[in-house]
Amino acid sequence: MSTTLHLTDAVTLGSTTAGDVLTPNDVVRVARHGAHVELGPAACDSVAATRSAIDALADDTEPHYGISTGFGALASTFISAEQRTALQQGLIRSHAAGSGPEVEREVVRALMLLRLKTLMSGRTGVRLETARAYADMLNAGIVPVVREYGSLGCSGDLAPLAHCALALMGEGTVRDCNGTLMDAADALAAAELAPITLAEKEGLALINGTDGMLGMLLLALNDLEMLLRTADVAAALSVETLLGTDRVFSDDLQLLRPQIGQADSAANLRALLHGSPIVASHRGPDDPSVQDAYSLRCAPQVHGAARDTAAHAASIADRELASAVDNPVVTPDGRVESNGNFHGAPVAYVLDFLAIATADVASMSERRTDRHLDPSRSKGLPAFLAHDAGVDSGLMIAQYTAAGIVSELKRLAAPASVDSIPSSAMQEDHVSMGWAAARKLRRSIDGLTRVLAIEIMTGCRSLDLRAPLRPARATGAVRDLVREHVAGPGPDRIVADEIEAVVGLVRSGRIAEAAEHETGGLR
């Protein structure tokens, strides 16, 4: 059953933000898990009060941008009262110019929720009935078809948001709560909802925000929180089965370099390897593993740096989540002011930062996978972990797959936010490309998920081949989970199915959960 999320008005006189109305977890619950949205009475009162200011300006003979003028490079063109509905409706139709593959359902629901959050801030000037209709469409599970291309990340995620507004008008194409493709008018009618005819200012208010890129950032941070814990699990499996030392993860060594993420990752590795008979089997003054390869020894440094990058990105996301992004904006004292808050640079930068961190964590994981397969470096394991090396190829090509993904992630790590293409007859002459940064980060996270799955699958086979030595309780629990879906060492068989099975375990969080059942919560 869906839970209910209350949007309450937290705006105070003189504030430029919408207040603390949503948490990142709220966005994930609505976007991924179908939680419903309700509009709090205080927020509704604020929306109605602000709309009265717009109605007053609509009657003014002086032009006001977005109310009685054209848009962008046409901002100086006055529009008469009888043409303004056509102006607003035409704005949505013309801006619904997306192209390419459909954007994922969870992304569209996230951007719809975030746009609704700003509509309810009382700073946009929409009518309450329009905001309610937007909430009703979201709650009915109607998801407009949004295309991959169309946003430059400035003046808002214009085309993606325009496709959502188009559905509100009963136009365009949507998917209903069951995922069936249909005309928006039919979907609204089936849900007993009426289309909205837009009034002054509403077209702009529905499309002028960073909601798409912010929604994807929040979803990515949710994924990365789990994947970075999973990366520590994968690294622990590799350290253990490659007969590495855990001494380098000791707390006193981490204190010499007080990086927060590094300390958390090292603490995780200590917990995951605690009590490992395999690690104990070669511990002592004669242990040759004092200088393990960097991909083993420096896992906390890389995984920790990724954590710190994610923490910075989360702080930017929190500020953006507390923002009311529109242009023009209605100030608390009733002024209607143009501004540049729709520029996506803050969000675009951290989306690019995260793509770099994601690529590096995956790169280190792939290097550990490769060490398992090379008999000159694996400390006694058979070549490619094959049953009968020469006759069997073992996991040789699984490493190729990981390497190919990592190479792709390196290309995706090239920043989108350094690019800018002028638009709207040079009125919009610098743009953020934040939507593009978000789209490539989603692909990067999928790639990291797959690379970690291959390392975990490989580490579990190595663990079996170290028998009769026993693993730590946490790594053993992960191996046991994987064995419920993937068989242990043996003659060659189709590897792709096994990779996909472990990818599913990683993506669902079950790998991390299996380890945490033994260690308690990882950091």
CA distance linking residue 98 with residue 175, whole number of Å = 16
Looking at the DSSP bridge assignments, the partners of residue 6 are 38
Report residue 252: phi and psi, to 5°.
-65, -30
Here the tokens at position 90 are 């035409």
Q: Are strands 99-102 and 36-39 parallel, antiparallel or unpaired?
A: unpaired
User: Which residues, in sequence order, are bridge partners of residue 36?
Assistant: 4
CB 124 within 8 A of CB 118: yes
What span, in angstroms and rounded, lies between the C-alpha atoms of 282 and 334? 73
Is residue 412 a contact partner of residue 442, using CB atoms and an 8 Å limit? no
**Exposed/middle/buried for residue 345 (C-beta within 10 Å: 0-12, 13-18, 19+):** middle
Any bridge partners for residue 39, and if so which?
A: 7
Q: Would you list the DSSP string of 256-289?
A: TS--HHHHHHHHHHHHHHTT-HHHHHT-STT-GG
- The runs of H, that is alpha helices, within 69-127 are 84-95, 105-119
Q: Looking at the chain, how many residues does it have?
A: 523
**Quick check: is 134 catalytic?**
no
Q: How far is CA 366 from the centre of its chain?
A: 22
3 state DSSP class of 12: coil
Q: Give the phi and the psi of residue 310 in degrees, each rounded to 5.
A: -65, -40
What does the angle CA 270 – CA 274 – CA 280 come to, to the nearest 5 degrees? 110
Cβ neighbours of 258 (radius 10 Å): 8
Contacts of 456 (CB under 8 A, 6+ apart): 230, 233, 234, 237, 478, 482, 502, 505, 506, 511
Q: How far apart are CA 435 and CA 210, in angstroms?
A: 8
User: Phi/psi of residue 122, each to 5°?
Assistant: 80, 15
Starting at the earlier edge strand, list the strands of the sheet with 143-144.
143-144, 173-175, 181-183
Q: What share of the chain is helix, strand, coil (3-state, %, to 5)?
A: 55, 5, 35
Could you tell me if 38 and 5 are in contact, meaning their C-beta atoms sit under 8 angstroms apart?
yes
How big is the chain by its Cα radius of gyration, in Å? 26
Selected catalytic residue, list 65, 134, 294, 349 = 65
End-to-end CA gap in the chain: 30
Does residue 107 contact residue 216 with C-beta atoms inside 8 Å? Answer: yes
Active site residue ranges: 65
